[in-house]
Amino acid sequence: MTPLEYCCFSMVGQVTKIRCGLLPKIFLPVIRSSRRVPLILPPPDKGGYSWRELKPGTWGSPTLEELSLAADALVSLVDDWSASLSLASPTFDMVGFSQGGALAATLVALHPARVGKVAVLSGFVPSGVERLLHPGLLEDIRFFWSHGTKDELISIERGRASIEFLENAGAEVQFCQAEIGHRVSKECWRSLATFLKN
């Protein structure tokens, strides 16, 4: 069976160049789908996107309730897409950057039996998701977490606290950090490639 991999990215400015399109040379064989977030946020010159409708004063703080609709829709999308290709794949792997990583964490908490591996790149566990993460929930799921120590949008402390939530729920988390901002280092890309291949 060919594994499915689904990528979710929340992008701003230069980071929009990160796509699943970078992945085929290092992550074969997989059937890959990529989804850019559905909502474009003002101001348009900054190129911001979101998986939820932005409310005043909530930038960077999506909740379980706000992301659960997108998580459920992604599971349905993967099911429909798999059916259209006559694939019988009950699980899929996810890669998410920034808020896409928060969405991946939300999806795996809501649908743990559907996910094999999860890579969260400069992301976080959204508020409310920790209530779902009871001991043993994620014991069969492997995570890769990449974070920059100089990340100005999502602090390294928030990333480490998110990893602790996942580990307390039984997840095996491979952590890669680098002295960079809100992006992924070359070394962490290489570690991610190894993680997804194994």
Q: How far is CA 136 from CA 33, 82, 96, 170, 174, in A?
A: 29, 28, 23, 5, 18
pLDDT of residue 82: 82
| Of 182, 125, 123, residue with least CA distance to 151 | 182
pLDDT of residue 22: 42
pLDDT of residue 9: 46
Distance CA 115, CA 109 (A): 10
Residue type, 150: K
Q: What is the pLDDT along the chain (198 residues), one digit of tens a residue?
A: 344 444 554 433 333 333 344 444 444 334 444 444 444 444 444 455 555 565 655 555 778 888 888 888 888 888 888 888 888 778 888 898 888 899 999 999 999 999 999 999 999 999 999 999 999 999 999 999 999 999 998 999 999 999 999 999 999 999 999 999 999 999 999 999 999 988
What pTM was computed for the model? Answer: 0.77
- The rounded Cα 50 to chain-centroid distance in angstroms is 13
Q: Which residues contact 129 (CB under 8 A, 6 or more apart)?
A: 64, 105, 106, 109, 165
Domains located in the chain, CATH noted = 4-197 (3.40.50.1820)
